[in-house]
Chain A
Amino acid sequence: MGTLNLDAKIPDGQLATKWGSHKSKIKLVSPANRKKYTVIVVGSGLAGAAAAATLGEMGYNVLCFCYQDSPRRAHSVAAQGGINSAKNYKNDGNTVERLFYDTIKGGDYRAREANVYRLAELSANIIDQCVAQGVPFARDYAGLLDTRSFGGVQVARTFYSAGQTGQQLLLGAYSALSRQIKAGTVKMFAAHEMLDLIVDGDGRARGIVSRDLRGGEIKSFIGDVVILCTGGYSNVYYLSTNAKGCNATAIWRAFKKGAAFANPCFTQIHPTCIPVSGDYQSKLTLMSESLRNDGRVWVPKKAGDKRPPNEIPEDERDYFLERRYPSFGNLCPRDIASRAAKERCDAGFGVGSTGFGVYLDFHDSIKKVGKDKIAERYGNLFDMYKELTDEDPYDVPMRIYPAPHYTMGGLWVDYNLMTTIPGLFAGGEANFSDHGANRLGASALMQGLADGYFILPLTIGDYLAGAKLSKLSTESSVVIDTENQVKERLNRLLSNKGKRTASDFHRELGRIVWDRCGMSRSAGGLREAIKMISDLGDRYWRDVLVGGTAFDLNQQLEIAGRVADFFELAVLMCVDALEREESCGGHFREEYQTADGEALRDDKNFSHVSVWSLNEANEQCELTKEPLKFENVSVATRSYK
């Protein structure tokens, strides 16, 4: 059992008043003093850009980093479907409480009540803020905001901009960030990748070591507080819906420096992606979940039926989601829809050349509302599908299959979003805070922006006002040491004269993790995976070939460093999955299921956050449990039947 002394710092009082009273008691930095503090923000996605912009507006001196060549390209840009909010514009009973409840239930009762409630509470402000920034949300003919429903819920609370909501929200945050860059409060370092965290003698996070991806320069940046908004680690699977550059290096380096990692095995497999077609494939393409509003998911009733979909008569089709989950049907949550599709394919009913695919059929909707209406709702997605597969979804049903998409796990943070390293905060997908074991659709954008716009800017002031920071310069020995470690690691990768590329290793790693720690897991498979990954990881350091130098734009070197960290993280994922002997949300252990194949949760033994940290010697991962208390919802078996 681990030795961490975890204090989530949940404020006292009623659930509904916790955030309000916390805000009024929190320590503040006076406006005149803010410019004396330097805040380092790593990542420029929704959480990072929003935090950097807001902190800049408040008067802090902000340094913002991203690995992309422009902050506008962070992968939040690719989110399609929408953003949830507790606004009751549809008069359908959408309230803060209901959004809170849906999120807790959707997360299979593995998230903190207080955090989730705060998220639901802030969700309304987010929409206001984004509209004020000029984010062009979809509107109705009265000129008011339109909403739609999304998987796992029965109210229409999702605000959207066609299938490009993430792009529009990110551009909103990017514009706010741009304004602060112009104002001089934020200094932007694009094409800079954080390679390590600087922790001072008092154990506080004080800066980062970064590499200029264009010129290769290794440089340290010192500040008073560091915020990581560096996204998730789905790319551990190699094939995922994440961007190619998405990586876990920042959070993994923080972990190595003492930040605890929570629930690493909670990963989300998104049900509606375009199936894999060949070995050459470098990424998977998501088709927005909103498609399930109008599309019906089915496979042939006869295993191995190779007839073209349009020739299979209605009564020979198995609409398996509608069959298994009659009340939610095609709109059941992601983990459930994904697993149901996998179950059918594993049983031999899958479609397409590989047999790993199910149909998503729009014929009935086109018949009902017309092709024009469907085109208006999903036109860009249909076009994209056609471009990628050479098939027209207006005529032929789409083929979809689940793919790694989001990681609920991440750096452990308290209510203030601070990790176990004082002065190190984590926001957005990089932390573990709000989604439990499964994230509901359209909630990632909400969480990223809540963290960035409304939570971090306040809690950071609280930390700074109370922190006594020692002097630290780029000449200090801890800084030089950290810098040297980074250089050493790069040199080790570069001087290796192996035979395989880092991507090649990454592909192999991905296959191991996907097969054994993907949509379903078993003790045997996980043990096997841990062994295989460790072996492959050892071979990686012996046999990887990078080439080029460190003093130049070297994309192979970037990949090699990221893959090295994925190896270590993958082991922890498997260890965590092995330890969690229950099925909940995205984590499905084959040993723990009901007779009809539904997940079997064990609230008695596993109603906790699994918090992993390195021991004193920095060698062994240790588990500490943060118990989850449910005082406002009654914990029940999650049913969408």
Chain B
Amino acid sequence: MALSDFYRTTVGKKVVMALSGAILVGFVFAHMAGNLKFFSGINPATGSYKFDEYGCFLRQFGSEIFGYSGFLWLARIVLLLALVAHAISGISLARLNRLAKPVVSQGARYSSANAASRSMIYGGLFLLLFIIYHILHLTTGTLHFRGFVEGSVYANVYNGFLSFPVAFFYIFSMICLALHLYHGAWSMFQTVGLTSSLWDSRLKLYARIFAYVIFLGFCSLPIGVWVGAVAKPNADVKVVICQ
């Protein structure tokens, strides 16, 4: 089969990584942008947290076609597939690459490779753990332990980040994510052949700016909680009824 021939090559694996990576990059950006709603306070018209309403919006989105939270689940399935493809091809590529370089030169000095490009596999594996924790923490609430209430997104996040180890773990994970993107967001263009000398350097710069933006955007939540930039969840605020 031509498709499996394609995947069997190192270039094929890389292309799978790049395409699945592109989906994940898009998701990460949307997730980060949505997270900034955390700072938008209470909607005076409804008296609910805008952040909670945003959560509801995600579940209702496309319900005319897909039914309630149908689109969300569809997105989750696509993301899960992308993640699995990204991880499997990444791990198998890393294994091949390690086999191809059994001995490293003494004092090998790198002039172009950097911490980001060298740590892709480690950062990637760590992010996999993080994602599992993150889902159990703020999506299902299994590992929340600070009064998780389904639908009270604002309160769940705020209370979650009140724990210093949790906030620290999140920030550390975002460092890994940013590092991963610092290389990956440019690398995926190179892998599918969309770079050229003309805007290669500019593309690299945009990818790096993107990594910083993602990092700052995500970290603004735990930091915001700790510096008191956002208000403590108020029990009087109306709960969003979402269906």
Contact between A and B in the complex (any CB pair below 8 Å):
no
B interface residues, Cβ below 8 angstroms from A: none
